[in-house]
Chain A
Amino acid sequence: MKKLTAIILVSILFVLLFINMFNGSLNFDKISERDADGNYYTEQPTSANMVTSVVVDYRSFDTLGEVTVLFVSSLGVAFVLGGLTTRVKSNHSQSFILKVGVDVLFSLIILVGAYIFIHGHLTPGGGFPGGALIGAALLLKYVSNDTYRANIKGFKALEGTMGSIYVLLGLLGIVTGSFFLENILDIGTIGNLISGGLIPIIYVLIGLKVGSELTGIFDHFMNEEV
């Protein structure tokens, strides 16, 4: 009976959404205004990857808030699971091959993550996927080895430092007479590795910050009560 009601409710929702979205009265082609040349914005893009331009340059304040949300969620996990201190033991015996394989793969995954966030302004990807890869490398370590503990204090310090540098870079914009988080450095040739002004610097900061935050979250989930 409950399932039937749910199905009926969902179908009503679908019909309402469908009527509103697909009867042609809403034109989704115009979500962003185009200029006379057919480009989406009048400003020159500041990096080869336009999404990165939007995320780290035009809407950099938004990204600062986003990083803060991730930080607060990491704090929340630490608050909820903070009383647990002992490392979780898995039920099955640890495979030697898995352990050695993870040791080999670990540095490679870290390297790929660093590559992704260093080239965030040129290729798809950026600080968040790169940071997620670093977190995944440490998660592999945790899963493969029962006694492994990452240096969480070091990661916390890294995270705090990176966040502070991000805010300080934003304040640098005010000091030089423009806006908070204004891209004050020279943009250079679009498509070069060193171009885009502050964008690569900020994406490296974000990558390291996200990686250490995710590692902190994994560490808290890998603990249990005595």
Chain B
Amino acid sequence: MHIVGVILMLVGVYGLLTNRHIIKMIIAINILEIGLNLFIISVGYSEGLIAPIITDINKNASNFADPLPQALVLTAIVIGVGTTAILLAVARKLYQQYGTFDIREMEGGR
């Protein structure tokens, strides 16, 4: 799962480098973010660990997965939602002003 996370991150970087369409760039940022979240989650997990929730069955178990990366990713997801909302709002404002989503056409009004 580490590798899937890293590959998703690199797909996001590639999308950011090649796309000139604002909505596509926002999608690339989100893919990058999902890859990073997946990577952090997979860091806290290895084979045979169980979800870190205490129930009657596993009261005395000691093979819980590490809850700290999951808590950090919860924070990261929420902040990702906030940044995506702002980015989309700015993209909409830019579209109103220039009538295009392509950043090459925005430069210098050509």
Interface positions of A (Cβ within 8 A of B):
2-3, 5-7, 9-10, 13-14, 17-18, 21-22, 28-29, 31-32, 37-40, 45, 48-51, 53-55, 59, 62-63, 66, 69-70, 72-74, 76-77, 80-81, 122-124, 126, 128, 132, 190-191, 210, 214, 217, 220-221, 225
Contacts and interface: CB of A to CB of B under 8 A. Distances in A.
A5 B13 CA distance: 12
A48 B68 contact: no
A40 B66 contact: yes
Contact of A220 (B14, B79, B89): B89
A73 B86 contact: yes
B86 A77 contact: yes
Contacts of A29: 46
Interface of B: 2-3, 6-7, 10, 13-14, 17-18, 43-44, 46, 51-56, 62-64, 66-71, 74-75, 77-79, 81-83, 85-86, 88-90, 92-93, 96
Interface residue SS majority, chain A? helix
22 contacts: A2-B17, A6-B14, A9-B17, A14-B10, A17-B6, A31-B44, A48-B54, A50-B52, A50-B54, A51-B52, A51-B74, A66-B75, A66-B79, A69-B79, A70-B78, A70-B79, A70-B82, A73-B85, A81-B89, A81-B92, A191-B56, A221-B92
Contacts of B56: 191
Contacts of B2: 21-22, 28
A73 B87 CA distance: 10
Given A6-B14, A10-B10, A40-B64, 12 more contacts: A6-B17, A13-B13, A17-B6, A18-B6, A22-B2, A31-B69, A48-B53, A53-B67, A55-B74, A69-B79, A69-B82, A124-B53
A7 B89 contact: no
A39 B60 CA distance: 10
Contacts of A221: 88-89, 92
Nearest to B79: A69
B70 A51 contact: yes
A48 B56 CA distance: 10
Given A6-B17, A80-B86, A225-B96, A49 B71 contact: no
B3 to A, nearest CB: 8
B6 A7 contact: no
Nearest to A190: B54
**Most central of A2, A10, A22, A132 by chain B CB within 10 Å:** A10
